[in-house]
Amino acid sequence: MVKILQLHSDFIEFQPIEKEIPSAEKCEKKTRRLEDLVILFTCVEEGDTPQTGREAINGVKEYLEKVKAHRILVYPYAHLSNKLARPSDALKILEEMRSYAESLGIEAHRAPFGWCKKFILSIKGHPLAEQFRSITLEEKGGGEVISKALKAEEKVKSHWYVVEIDGRLIPVEEYDFSGHENLKKFADYEISKIRIAQRTPPHVDLMRRLELVDYEPASDPGNFRWYPKGRLVKSLMEQFVTEKVIAYGGMEVETPIMYDFEHPALSNYLHRFPARQYILRSDDKDFFLRFSACFGQFLILHDAQISYRQLPLRIYELTRYSFRREKSGELSGLRRLRSFTMPDVHAICANMKQVKEEFMKRFQLSIDTLEGFGLSRNDYELAIRFTKDFYEENKDFVISLVKKFGKPALIEMWDERFFYFVLKWEFNFVDNLDKASALSTDQIDIENAKRYGIFYVDENGEKKTPLILHCSPSGAIERDLYAMLEKAYRDQMEGRPPMLPLWLSPTQVRIVPVADSFYAEAEKTAERIAGCGVRVDWDDRPLTMQRKIREAEMEWIPYIVVVGRKEVESGILSVRDRRISGAERSGKIRRMSLEELISEIKDLTKGKPFKPLSLPMRLSKRPRFYG
């Protein structure tokens, strides 16, 4: 594979000093200076071809567009590998990279090959300025496979509109976004197609400081480690979504995470889905890691005997994990990652009439799911994407989705169909960097039942091909947590206390004794609360009471209970309630009995799953996982 150290630079000065190999190309020993450019320190390995070099430049072109640069320098750099190509082959590929870049309208230069050179450079100071890339051909055994659908998505001509609740379809450039500023941000993000974040989003600091989740440097970028508090939050979210889907009628299954690359249905479907894949080799066969539950569920349905009486038939899996090889420059905390947990529920429907009825149920299921995570319709925007033909035939149905949502929606319309679906909607969260991420989604699939040989038997005993709906009522669980943390940060910036929903707070109650003489009472109180199904801990560290309270506030603890002589004698607790915000919260202490506190928490978390926290109840016994 061609390996490239890619540096967005203010300038570089380089001068050939002496030949390193006898076949070094001829050049003048003079200093050259180039400014405002992207330098490609390039190492060519055995087996690379000119096509590999062209693939590298295609990736560079996308990068140049995002960082607003137009000049490159291909710089031979043998130090990135010990499996070097023959000098003649390497020179051919390096020159192909330069000439191909010029054919794409890029100003391209190349440093002389085979020389020892001295150089001085200055790298620009932004997060994307330094990147390492490995490029392989998109062929069997070649590593990353880029689907035809993904290529089509990058080239597709989109027509953008906003549709009002009354059904008016207005070109986005003519729409008055007054009162819908978040929708404007979302539209700008979608139309620009620039996914790279120039700054670290606020939720990254929060997820670390709260000891929820962090990057795993020993893994592939975009994979994370989950600390005990984060694992609790994530597992509760997973359980909540699963319970919602089962109540809706989903039949839960479990399927493998890897599949045969040569399976005819799977191989064909890969190229109909806009995602990059992980490929691995075992026993001389190539496999890919799943990016959704579609493969396993469709293969189960292929083998099932299905009657029209059983439709719509709903099949569900919480895929832990799914994998997509997102571009490294687009990875951004929990917003865009490579390994994720995706609740995926498919519905098999007999016809378009049944599809529309089922679609509306799933639309409401998704709204209810996000609401359980504390995300209201004010926190996200609706996007609906479809072909022009589908819209003309189903205009009333599209408008019914917008009416149910209750706000104007962004529309992306295509002249022709590039994917397996004719309509897709998403709920998109817009974060504090004005970047958008899809959460819930559903699609009307008109291809895959036939591709996978999925049939049902109708009332006349004949085999019929159904339609398939693809829904994730929450989207990736990690992205939901990202949205909650970004929303909490926004609340903090606007003077409201940041917090997670009470049922998801790792510690719901923190007991703070005023002195060590009340430790026994604090522990007794904590044990009584824990026995009632509430997550509680108590602070026995050798710190002042004021610092203990301050640190509990920094951990977003919903209820902080102070235990001292007055509380012991009266049986009435002094409770700091985090839900009370702003000036009203300053110095406000609620007086509650233990029974009243427990009853209130149980009422506020009614209908939500509960799990105990897998950390010691005494804070002095806990390790610090971050910071």
Q: What pLDDT digit, counting tens, does each position of 470-502 carry?
A: 999 999 999 999 999 999 999 999 999 999 999
Mean pLDDT, residues 10-23 taken together:
92
The pLDDT score that the predictor gives to residue 620 is: 97
Q: Give the pLDDT confidence of 38-56 residue by residue, as tens digits.
A: 999 999 998 888 888 988 9
How far apart are the C-alpha atoms of 172 and 285, rounded to whole Å?
Answer: 48
Classified as helix, coil or strand, 533 is coil
> What pLDDT digit, counting tens, does each position of 62-93 carry?
899 888 999 999 999 998 888 899 898 899 89
Q: Residue 478, SS3?
A: helix
Per DSSP, 406 falls in state T
pLDDT score, position 146 = 52
Residue 199 is predicted with a pLDDT of 75
432/483 Cα distance (integer angstroms): 10
What are the start-end ranges of the H helices in 34-180? 50-67, 87-103, 148-155
Q: What is the average per-residue pLDDT within 593-609?
A: 96
Helices marked H in 465-579: 477-493, 519-530, 545-554, 565-570
- DSSP-derived secondary structure for 416-474: S--SSEEEEEEEEEE-TTS-EEEEEEEEEESSHHHHHT--EE-TTS-EE--EEEEEESS
End-to-end C-alpha distance for the chain, whole angstroms: 38
- CA nearest to 488, candidates 555, 407, 409, 588: 555
The 10s digit of each residue's pLDDT in 196-208 is: 666 789 999 999 9
CATH class of 2-137: alpha beta
Say how far apart CA 171 and CA 326 lie, in whole Å.
Answer: 31
CB 159 within 8 A of CB 412: yes
Measured over all CA atoms, what is the biggest interatomic distance in the chain, rounded to whole angstroms?
A: 93
Taking Cα atoms as reference points, which of 244, 263, 249, 7 lies closest to residue 119? 7
Q: CA-CA distance, 243 to 241, in Å (whole number)? A: 5
pLDDT, mean of residues 364-389: 96
Pairing verdict, β 258-260 and 285-289: antiparallel
Lowest mean pLDDT among 119-133, 195-209, 556-570: 195-209
Q: In this predicted model, what pLDDT tens digit does every residue of 265-308 receive, in sequence order?
A: 776 666 565 567 788 888 878 888 888 888 899 999 999 999 99
User: Average pLDDT of 172-186?
Assistant: 95
Query: Among 181-185, 218-222, 451-455, which stretch is predicted with the lowest mean pLDDT?
Result: 218-222
Round to whole Å and give the CA distance between 404 and 407: 8
Per-residue pLDDT for 453 more than 80? yes
Tell me the pLDDT tens digit for each residue of 394-422: 999 999 999 999 999 999 999 888 788 99
Quote the pLDDT of residue 268.
65
Contact predicate 203/486, CB 8 Å: yes
What does the pLDDT look like over 498-557, one tens digit per residue?
Answer: 999 999 999 999 999 999 999 999 999 999 999 999 999 999 999 999 999 999 999 999
pTM of the predicted protein model: 0.76
The pair of structure tokens assigned to 296 is 């396993």
Give me the sheet containing 572-577, strands edge to edge: 536-538, 509-513, 559-563, 572-577, 590-593
How far apart are the C-alpha atoms of 508 and 539, rounded to whole Å? 14
Helices (H) and strands (E) in the chain, counts: 18, 28
Give the other-Cβ count within 10 Å of 545's Cβ.
Answer: 14
Residue type, 119: F
Residue 267 CA to residue 257 CA, distance in Å, equals: 15
Rounded to whole angstroms, how far apart are CA atoms 498 and 210?
Answer: 12
Q: Which of 246-255, 416-425, 464-473, 600-609 is predicted with the least confidence, judged by mean pLDDT? A: 416-425
Q: Where are the domains of the chain?
A: 2-137, 157-485, 502-621
The answer, yes or no, to whether residue 138 has pLDDT greater than 80, is no
Token representation of residue 136: 């392989």
Q: What is the DSSP letter of 407?
A: S
The answer to whether the Cα torsion of 134, 139, 144, 146 is positive or negative is positive
pLDDT in tens, 533-549: 999 999 999 999 999 99
The predicted pLDDT at position 583 comes to: 45
**Under CATH, which number does the domain 502-621 receive?**
3.40.50.800
- In CATH terms, the superfamily for domain 157-485 is Bira Bifunctional Protein; Domain 2 (3.30.930.10)
Mean pLDDT of the chain: 90
236 pLDDT band (50/70/90 cuts)? very high
Across residues 574-600, what is the average pLDDT? 81
Half-sphere exposure of 425 (CA within 13 A, CB side): 26
| C-alpha 88 chain-centroid distance | 43
Model confidence band, residue 152 (pLDDT cutoffs 50, 70, 90): low
